[in-house]
Structure 1
Amino acid sequence: MMTVMMTVVSVAYWRWNSRVTEKNVSFRSEVFTLAQQPELKEEDIPVLHQLNEEYSRVARLVERVLVSIDTTGVTSVPQPSEDGDFMVEKRLTVHGLGSGVIVTEEGHIITAYHVIQNKHALRVTLSNGKSVSVRLVGVDPELDIAVLQVENPMTFTPLPFGNSDEIAPGMIVLACGNPYGLGTTVSRGIISARERKLVDSGINLIQTDASIFPGNSGGPLINIRGEIIGINKSVLPNAEKNYAGIGFAIPSNLVMHSFEQICKHGRPMKGYLGLDIVRNTPPLRSFLDYHEAGGAVINIVKHGSPAEQAGLQTGDVILSFNEVPIQTDEEVKERIENLSIGDKFRLKVWRKGQKMNVTLKVGDSILKNVPSPWEDFMEGVGMHLRELTAEEQSIGARGLLVIQVNPKKSVGQILQAGDMVFAVNHQSVSTKEALVKALREGPALLTVSRDGQQFNVKVDARPVSEKTLLPRIPEATKGNAIIPHEL
């Protein structure tokens, strides 16, 4: 028995010792020799070596002025109620990321307005990792620019602005920011194009293939001299497609002008004329009975604007600007963009076969959102309309376009956005003043077109005490409909 046990133990020890020996063999010391010198020396690739050093030098310049911005806000999200019968709003806390760039020795920071929009808390971190408190100086929502200032007393060494009018496709740029909260990041690319317009932006943007991702917004676009030539804004808005390499930045000349206005006045002091100008196309020429290819067409004139006060009308053709002949709409827009509040200029326009001179004075953009008396009146009625542009009229559209209705008003339960009001009391109507005049005088019959069908709507916009209350029509889509007293 003892012999058997000793045999078993010996075999077990032998097997264990064999495994240990195998392991020891697998980890035996190896002989290796690493390459000690690169095959290419700096003198072999002088251009690449110099380029490498210069990229690194420009990147180091950016690091000292780049900041990351963490934001906190509250948003309302519609959700079904507990019983599922209706929707309720639930308030949720949302966090965001963005970037900014220090542009003054006093610590003024420029970032994108959409980074801080509707946010109640900001945490700004400098490139050295230090968090600082900031105050909001002002914003330019139209340009998508916001200006902050570091409240802690300290001195900064900012980067200068470059001239964005001098950029050209192919020029090398660096896009800098804080993508995905990773920290200071620099990506290299070129200017792909200039003067790009997005659907949601009326300004000319710089297009670049330097990578711009979430968190890069508000960071600087830098040229090879270390100058700020743009502020990173966005990429093409389509989550279903990969648009990496198609980024957009706000040109530095626009940014600098807005920044100076915000610092001096607390807001961007932008000129306002209240007109929209379009290219002189063959359909417009045919509609206007104008036979020249040059000039620019006034597409729409806003009521109460400096353009209307000067006597301009939809369909006028601009022939010259301060005695300089005009060939395209872009020529007019470029000249207008360089004007300031209070500036005066002269236009020569063609209207229905006649030429006339008009003098305009640039107004303050703050006035463009002030509602006119007719807008206040139509707000009480429960609907908003606009006149048709020259382009819309050139394709045969007539009347006034309903752009918004109040569903709490009776008119909002019958009319809807997109309806076309083309007659009042059986008379053609094309101006809002004519419609308001008819509504003020008493019950008015509106002839409306929707999806190729016509129906009449009776509207009584007089004060309730003056009205004869009419029976309510529960629903009307065609034929005759009557809107009762609730207006």
Structure 2
Amino acid sequence: MKKILTLILVSALGGIMTLSAYKYFLEEDDIGATLAKSDSSLSYFPTSNTAVSSYGTLYAPDFTEAAENAVHAVVHVKNTTISRAPMTMQDLFMGRSSERAQVGTGSGVIISPDGYIITNNHVINGSQQLSITLNDNKIYEAELIGTDEKTDIALLKIDAGEALPFATFGNSDQVKVGEWVLAVGNPFNLTSTVTAGIISAKSRDLSGINSQSFLQTDAAVNPGNSGGALVNTRGELIGINTAITSQTGSYIGYSFAVPSNIARKVVEDIMEFGNVQNGILGVRGGELNSKSAESFEVSATQGFYVSDVEERSGADKAGIKKGDIIKKIDNISISKFSDLSGYLSTKRPNDVVDLYIIRNGSEKKIPVTLSKSEIMTIEFLDMQLRNIPNEVKKSSNITYGVAVIKNENYALYKNLGINTGYVITEINGEVIKNVDDIMKLKLKYGDDLEKNIKKLSVITSSGQKESFIFR
């Protein structure tokens, strides 16, 4: 009996050992092979299965130093204007003036220890009095040094009697999409407000005529932030907060800043020349995509296609031709026209830039000396119009307008006498300062432009001012 029990125990123990060995050495491999086979059959795209080791403060950016430096360089700008309303009977009996003071507010950035301040033109536009409040609550009267409406930049000056904290300009051309930034300003009169975000896009144009090249960010910017600082994580000034696009008038997710390279060039021009010196390449055309490439009959879908070259311009003298595709200017890649126009906004007449173009399938590098803006022309109602040189404006006592240099519109010549030497100053009551304003009208009315011209104001070749009404 004892032998039988021993035999049964040994048999049971052997069975357990055999089953364990099967489970450990064979079944696990089969399951692994089955899972691997199943996994492979379901994987259609490259997939990373690497586990993220940790999240948390180890990788969180630290904005404290940048914010500390920036808030001391950002100021509150108060713009006081005087509006004159019609005198009412109540004003007359009460002996009150019809003048009313209106106050607007915004932000500005100190850019030098001696008190030069950069802000937006629209912040100080129409001001009779400007006051600046520093971060330490000291208040100073400000002098307006100069403005540039096109870039929406203005330069102010205060005399504090001491060295002031100031922002250092960064290189906005080196800013990358996805880079962390801080917006510093005074939204809704809440002073020294700092918000954070990233660069969402570069070279944004909101005008429709490719005259702008904004940095786009998702850092919260609201009314009152205009003229304030956009800084990187080192506290360097990379933009001047300028605009938001919103149906409500408040922040809805993105905002726009004038790049610091453009802003710096504008204020340097104002300080040195009293106005902005614009360097002109002298080409016309359009940015490439799959649709425009088909119409231009080219294979490239990125770059700027040259459809025309301005006579006597730097591009013309350098040998740029119709059909060339501009791929790069200096170190800036060109994927849309605002890339090109934005970089040119940092240049002056007689600056030399290197154009990298595609011509007949091969790449060429062509240096181009930029021209003055006076060489720019535009076609309008079968007339060729040109910007007026500043010297001519001064000698002729003309402050704005575009000159007629050729007229092939026989009706305008026969009926109104408009010919070479005339200056167009207003269209439909809107002041015409340069050919960009003509471009805006052409964009606004399109093919119906001629039908929508109701009034034309000119200065004749003899200096007489005349206006013509179209019925």
Q: TM-score range by the shorter chain?
A: 0.5 to 0.7
Deviation of 1:349 after TM superposition, in Å, equals 10
Mapped partners of 2:449, 2:358: distance in 1:
25
Q: Report the CA distance shift for 1:125/1:406 in structure 2 as closer, same or farther (over 3 A).
A: same
Mapped partners of 1:50, 1:381: distance in 2:
58
Comparing 128-137 with 151-160, greater Cα deviation is found at 151-160
TM-score (norm 1): 0.56
Mapped partners of 2:55, 2:325: distance in 1:
56
Q: How does 1:146-225 map to 2 (within 5 A)?
A: 146-199=154-207, 202-225=211-234
Q: Report the CA distance shift for 1:248/1:79 in structure 2 as closer, same or farther (over 3 A).
A: farther
Contact 1:135 1:151 in 2 (8 A): no
Q: 2:404 aligns with which of 362, 367, 373?
A: 373
Partner residue, 1:58 = 66
Contact 1:316 1:349 in 2 (8 A): no
Q: Report the CA distance shift for 1:105/1:282 in structure 2 as closer, same or farther (over 3 A).
A: closer
Mapped partners of 2:261, 2:309: distance in 1:
28
Q: 1:364 aligns with which of 357, 372, 378?
A: 372
Partner residue, 1:230 = 239
Contact 1:306 1:360 in 2 (8 A): no
- SS where residue 263 of structure 2 aligns? helix
- SS where residue 114 of structure 2 aligns? coil
Contact 1:169 1:191 in 2 (8 A): yes
Mapped partners of 1:195, 1:166: distance in 2:
12
Mapped partners of 2:344, 2:75: distance in 1:
35
Q: How does 1:32-181 map to 2 (within 5 A)?
A: 48=57, 54-74=62-82, 93-181=101-189
- SS where residue 271 of structure 2 aligns? helix
Partner residue, 2:248 = 239
- SS where residue 469 of structure 2 aligns? helix
Mapped partners of 1:144, 1:97: distance in 2:
16
Give per-residue Cα distances to partners, 1:427-467, cap 9 Å, x unaligned.
xxxxxxxxxxxxxxxxxxxxxxxxxxxxxxxxxxxxxxxxx
Contact 2:75 2:133 in 1 (8 A): yes
Deviation of 1:293 after TM superposition, in Å, equals 2.8
Contact 2:349 2:371 in 1 (8 A): yes
Contact 1:113 1:145 in 2 (8 A): yes
Contact 1:383 1:412 in 2 (8 A): no
Mapped partners of 2:317, 2:450: distance in 1:
25
Contact 1:382 1:411 in 2 (8 A): no
Q: 1:265 aligns with which of 261, 273, 279?
A: 273
Give per-residue Cα distances to partners, 1:99-133, cap 9 Å, x unaligned.
01111121111111111112121111111111112
- What's the % identity of the aligned pairs? 27
Contact 1:316 1:350 in 2 (8 A): no
- SS where residue 216 of structure 2 aligns? strand
TM-score (norm 2): 0.58
Partner residue, 2:4 = none
- SS where residue 340 of structure 1 aligns? coil
Mapped partners of 2:328, 2:185: distance in 1:
44
Q: Report the CA distance shift for 1:177/1:400 in structure 2 as closer, same or farther (over 3 A).
A: closer
Mapped partners of 2:447, 2:312: distance in 1:
23
Match status 1:412 vs 2:469: yes
Contact 1:99 1:219 in 2 (8 A): yes
State the aligned residue count: 344
Partner residue, 1:306 = 313
Mapped partners of 1:225, 1:346: distance in 2:
31
Deviation of 1:406 after TM superposition, in Å, equals 1.8
Corresponding letter in the other structure for 1:191: I
Deviation of 1:402 after TM superposition, in Å, equals 6.0
Corresponding letter in the other structure for 2:470: Q
Corresponding letter in the other structure for 1:406: K
Mapped partners of 2:313, 2:225: distance in 1:
39
Mapped partners of 1:181, 1:165: distance in 2:
31
Give per-residue Cα distances to partners, 1:165-216, cap 9 Å, x unaligned.
2322332222111111122211222222222221367222122222111111
Give per-residue Cα distances to partners, 1:76-109, cap 9 Å, x unaligned.
78999xxxxxxxxx97643211101111121111
Partner residue, 2:298 = 292
- SS where residue 142 of structure 1 aligns? coil
Corresponding letter in the other structure for 2:223: P
Deviation of 1:340 after TM superposition, in Å, equals 3.2
Q: Report the CA distance shift for 1:382/1:221 in structure 2 as closer, same or farther (over 3 A).
A: closer
Deviation of 1:322 after TM superposition, in Å, equals 11
Q: Report the CA distance shift for 1:317/1:66 in structure 2 as closer, same or farther (over 3 A).
A: same
C-alpha RMSD of matched pairs (Å): 4.9
Mapped partners of 2:327, 2:58: distance in 1:
52
Mapped partners of 1:194, 1:213: distance in 2:
20
Corresponding letter in the other structure for 1:292: V
Q: How does 1:451-470 map to 2 (within 5 A)?
A: none
Higher relative contact order (CA 8 A, sep 6+): 2
Mapped partners of 2:156, 2:277: distance in 1:
18
Contact 2:81 2:102 in 1 (8 A): yes
Q: How does 1:274-289 map to 2 (within 5 A)?
A: 275-279=283-287
Mapped partners of 1:238, 1:191: distance in 2:
22
Can you give the 5+ residue segments of structure 1 that lack an aligned partner in the other structure? 1-44, 81-89, 352-357, 415-487
- SS where residue 238 of structure 1 aligns? coil
Give per-residue Cα distances to partners, 1:310-368, cap 9 Å, x unaligned.
6999x9322569999x99665865775565312467999999xxxxxx99753223675
Mapped partners of 2:356, 2:59: distance in 1:
56
Corresponding letter in the other structure for 1:113: N
Mapped partners of 1:50, 1:292: distance in 2:
46
